[in-house]
């Protein structure tokens, strides 16, 4: 191709430097591709809600050569999940017997930074600005990065659940619900003798469900998951109301009460809807992570899915470059199948909670369209369905 002044080239431009984008980058670099990651930085976005890593992520991180970056401080072990779901008694999912070992409670900022550093050390270029205005030209893409024009043979959208790049090249984003998370970080316990269990905790309530997990800093993440209209109708965006609902729980309150008796000063509110991009790939491009398929957080598999889709999309791009005309369409079909199975598992999980008859729960008890299977008895607690 003929370059113009101010233009730069790469084999693959990856928009987004989170786990999905880095997994794609590391996989492509091993195949000899030149990779440019456009990641504008996350400081202005505030802290992230994805603070836990499941044991199933271990083999993926090991295969990418970055497992050693998350098995030590500041990240701490997560030994399991506890849930009060379908009843008031806590049930436990113990990671100590998991063949992949324990999960991890993450310092998410440090985790993402370590992965991006690994990609740079492996040879990826990095631009601290968003990818904009993709244009398909014969044999390549033209993308604007800041004041530069980049020519890339392939694009990978790792920008998150809005799938901004994929939508700009013709894909459609389909959201299944309007789930939101209203979250706060609570300070370390006031009593130094208090030690929080190194496990995450889920408790269902009429308005939705609560989640809490310890953070490596000694603080704790607490959040309520509900629908946007339910949150608005109950003024859950107000810290005092949010705190009152937390105090109405049983297990979450007991876990968090030693930390503080005061509502948080402010809440972090984030969209957490289930969505998919259709198609998840096309000629010269692919979506990965939440940009491809975003799961209800009850699955506790967001980072694992991000890593897996990033790796798989990179393999599809490599195969396409080698002449496999079906590689990218096959990847898109695989994402669609994964998403369909997740939606079915989600329906089974929510149908296990029969105590509440509010709009949040009735919306989620219906089986997915076209699903005639009736095996809801097989592992319906959050830890059992999703592991």
Q: Could you tell me the CATH number of the domain that includes residue 248?
A: 3.30.9.100
Neighbour count for residue 262 (Cβ, 10 Å): 11
> Which of these, 346, 378, 340, lies nearest to 364 by C-alpha position?
346
Residue 76's pLDDT band (boundaries 50, 70, 90)? confident
For 9-26, write each residue's pLDDT tens digit. 999 999 999 999 999 999
Question: pLDDT value at position 325?
Answer: 97
Does position 377 have pLDDT exceeding 60, yes or no? no
Please name the residues in contact with 195: beta carbons below 8 A apart, sequence gap of 6 or more.
189
Please check whether residues 264 and 279 belong to one and the same domain. Answer: no
- Is residue 366 a part of any domain in this protein? no
Question: Highest-confidence range of 80-89, 100-109, 203-212, 356-365, by mean pLDDT?
Answer: 203-212
- Between 369 and 56, name the one with better pLDDT: 56
Measuring CA to CA, which residue among 298, 289, 187, 205 is closest to residue 248? 205
Specify whether 295 is located in the same domain as 162.
yes
The model's confidence at residue 45, banded by pLDDT at 50, 70 and 90, is: low
The pLDDT tens digits for 232-248 are: 999 999 999 999 999 99
Name the residue among 133, 151, 155, 129 with its Cα closest to residue 142. 151
Q: Please tell me whether residues 229 and 302 are part of one structural domain.
A: no
**What share of the chain in percent tops pLDDT 90?**
71
Asked if residue 1 has pLDDT above 60, the reply is no
Mean per-residue pLDDT, 101-126: 93
For the segment 263-320, what is each residue's pLDDT rounded down to a tens digit?
Answer: 999 999 999 999 999 999 999 999 999 999 999 999 888 999 999 999 999 999 999 9
Is position 383 within any domain? no
- Running DSSP on this structure, what letter comes out for residue 69? G
Residues 6+ apart with CB under 8 A from 244: none
Integer Cα distance of 160 and 291 in angstroms:
5
Q: Is the domain of 118 the same as that of 32? A: yes
The pLDDT assigned to 301 comes to 86
What's the CATH code of the domain at 112?
3.50.50.60
Query: Which of the two residues, 321 and 1, has the higher pLDDT score?
Result: 321
Average pLDDT over residues 132-138: 94
Tens digit of pLDDT for each residue in 160-213?
A: 999 999 999 999 999 999 999 999 999 887 765 556 778 899 999 999 999 999
- Do residues 6 and 120 make contact, with C-beta atoms less than 8 angstroms apart? no
Tally of CA atoms within 13 A in the half-sphere of 132 that contains its CB: 9
**308 and 227 in a common domain:** no
Last residue of a domain, one of 228, 256, 271: 271
Residue 237 lies in domain: 179-271
Residues 262 and 187 in one domain: yes
Q: Is residue 351 part of a domain?
A: no
Is residue 368 over pLDDT 80?
no
Residue ending a domain, among 234, 254, 271, is 271
The domain boundary residue, chosen from 228, 245, 271 = 271
pLDDT (0 to 100) of residue 195? 63
Nearest CA to 151 out of 168, 165, 131, 170 is that of 131
Q: Classify residue 260: in a domain, yes or no.
A: yes
306 occurs within a structural domain = yes
Torsion region of 264: left, alpha or beta (phi above 0 gives left; psi -120 to 50 gives alpha)? beta
Report the distance separating Cα 124 and Cα 12, nearest Å: 10
In a domain, 221, yes or no: yes
Give the pLDDT confidence score for residue 7 in this predicted structure: 67
Residues 14 and 125 in one domain: yes
Q: Does 172 share its domain with 185?
A: no
Q: How confident is the model at residue 2 (pLDDT cuts 50, 70, 90)?
A: very low
Scan for tokens 């998350």, then name that residue: 70
Q: What is the pLDDT of residue 197?
A: 77
Same domain membership, residue 282 and residue 266: no
CA 53, 59, 60, 66 torsion: positive or negative?
A: positive
Of 47, 33, 24, 42, which is closest to residue 128 (Cα–Cα)? Answer: 42
């Amino acid at each position: 191709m003929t370059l113009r002044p101010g233009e730069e080239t790469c084999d693959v431009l990856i928009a987004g430097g989170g786990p999905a984008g880095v997994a794609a980058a590391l996989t492509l670099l091993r195949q000899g591709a030149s990779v440019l990651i456009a990641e504008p930085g996350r400081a202005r976005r505030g802290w992230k809600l994805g603070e836990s890593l499941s044991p199933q992520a271990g083999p993926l991180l090991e295969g990418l050569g970055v497992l050693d970056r998350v098995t030590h401080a500041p990240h701490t072990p997560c030994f399991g999940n506890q849930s009060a779901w379908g009843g008031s008694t806590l049930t436990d999912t113990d990671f100590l017997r998991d063949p992949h070992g324990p999960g991890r409670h993450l310092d998410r900022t440090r985790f993402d930074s370590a992965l991006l550093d690994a990609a740079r050390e492996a040879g990826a270029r990095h631009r601290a600005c968003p990818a904009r205005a993709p244009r398909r030209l014969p044999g390549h893409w033209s993308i604007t990065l800041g004041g530069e024009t980049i020519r890339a043979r392939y694009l990978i959208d790792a920008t998150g659940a809005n799938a901004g790049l994929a939508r700009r090249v013709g894909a459609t984003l389909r959201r299944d619900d309007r789930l939101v998370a209203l979250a706060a970080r609570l300070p370390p316990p006031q009593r130094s003798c208090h030690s929080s269990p190194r496990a995450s905790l889920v408790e269902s309530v009429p308005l939705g469900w609560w989640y809490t997990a310890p953070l490596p800093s000694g603080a704790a993440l607490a959040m309520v998951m509900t629908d946007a209209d339910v949150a608005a109708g109950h003024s859950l965006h107000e810290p005092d109301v949010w705190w009152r609902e937390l105090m109405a729980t049983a297990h979450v309150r007991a876990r968090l009460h030693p930390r503080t008796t005061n509502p948080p000063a402010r809440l972090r509110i984030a969209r957490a809807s289930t969505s998919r991009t259709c198609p998840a790939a096309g000629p010269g491009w692919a979506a990965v992570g939440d940009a491809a398929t975003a799961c209800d957080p009850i699955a506790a598999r967001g980072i694992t899915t991000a890593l897996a889709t990033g790796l798989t999309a990179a393999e599809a791009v490599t195969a396409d470059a080698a002449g496999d005309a079906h590689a990218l369409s096959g990847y898109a079909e695989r994402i669609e199948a994964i998403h369909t199975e997740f939606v079915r598992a989600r329906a089974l999980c929510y149908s296990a909670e029969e105590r509440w008859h509010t709009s949040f729960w009735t919306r989620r008890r219906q089986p997915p369209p076209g699903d005639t299977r009736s095996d809801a008895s097989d592992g319906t607690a959050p830890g059992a369905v999703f592991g």
